[in-house]
Amino acid sequence: MTFLTNLKWRALQLLFKLAVPTVRSRWISPATQPDLYWRPSKSYLYSGRVFLPKDVPKNQKGLPLLVDVHGGGFVANIPAIDDPVCRYLADHGRCVVVSIDYRKAPQDTFPAGYEDVVEQVQTLIASRYLDIDPEKVMLFGSSAGGNLVLATAQDASLKGKVLGVMALYPVTDCGLSMREKMATRPDAGVPDLLESSYDGIQEAYLGESEAARKTLANDVRASPGAFEKREDLPKNVYLLGAEHDLLCHEAEVMAERLADGVERVLGKDGWRAESVRWENVKGQTHGFDVFGRQGETKEQKVQRSAAKDETYERMAGWVRDIAQI
């Protein structure tokens, strides 16, 4: 990696570290603030942001736990970026949500971020800091965070300890190039946020060698869609893609593999196959719930906001359903 490329990613990290705390601050976003903070054992990680459900008595014990892992292409972002979705899922999913951090590339490459997430999930399950039900632990992440939770859910140390995993527009196959992924999109005329940066992000996170990246296509820590057996993942899996996202097809392929041989019940934009659920958020692009596409019209903004609200509602419903609350 060249000096200028390294500098570019570091500059992006600095931008997020400055901008996100401002946007998510108490004076700009008072309604989505965390209730508590959880300090991980690694001093280089941001504190976990803890969200308690507002309509549940503060002294109620044994609530379900949802661990959130933010996106950012493995190279940027901090837990505060996910405050709105965490607050929503805590309140409407009636669970405790903890939003955690992990190391980023290019300073810390694969599998550093994965290892951080696994360790923190292990600690949170065993921790007495939060009075949660250890039988009702779920994982959620979007984009790179979706990749990390799908990979973490397959870690041998957590087998049988994670009730379900939910991922929004996740990376599931690191063996495919940007061109291969772009070719799966239904409408080439719709711009893709990741098109210009995807290959560079992969290089920063997985290394410069194309051969090495191809090898990681079969390593579930990098490509969680490469699981060997259905039993490698928790019983409950909910995958969501955005129709015009270059990552949508690979997420659907993973869902198809998980549901292999199981009868499906079709829905409006997806299906259920027993405890596996797939949904394609129509008309939307990568990160639609956080930011709009370039040149977005007023009508498109309204449609995107409605898609976000509907998606969050369904995700919260999934949490309630599998946690039986």
Query: What confidence tens digit (pLDDT) does each residue in 214-252 have?
Result: 789 999 999 999 999 999 999 999 999 999 999 999 999
- Rounded mean pLDDT of 65-79? 97
**Reduced to 3 DSSP states, what percent helix, strand and coil does the chain have, rounded to the nearest 5?**
40, 15, 45
Hey, what amino acid is at 219? D
What CATH architecture is 3-323?
3-Layer(aba) Sandwich (3.40)
pLDDT at 1 over 80: no
Block residue for tokens 């014990």: 61
CA distances from 81 to 18, 85, 100, 218, 248 (A): 12, 9, 11, 30, 22
Contacts of 235 (CB under 8 A, 6+ apart): 163, 164, 275
- Are 244 and 185 in contact by the 8 Å Cβ rule? The answer is yes
Task: Answer yes or no: are the C-beta atoms of 233 and 163 closer than 8 Å.
Answer: no
Domain residue ranges of the chain, discontinuous segments joined by +: 3-323
Q: What secondary structure does DSSP assign to 164-230, as a single string?
A: EEEEES----TTS-HHHHHTT-S-TTS--TTTTTHHHHHHHHH-S-HHHHHHGGG-TTT-GGG-SSG
Strand arrangement, sheet containing 96-100: 36-38, 48-51, 96-100, 63-69, 132-142, 164-168, 236-242, 276-281, 270-273, 265-266
pTM across the whole model: 0.97
Please, what is the average pLDDT of the chain? 94
Query: Looking at the predicted structure, is the pLDDT value of residue 213 above 80?
Result: no
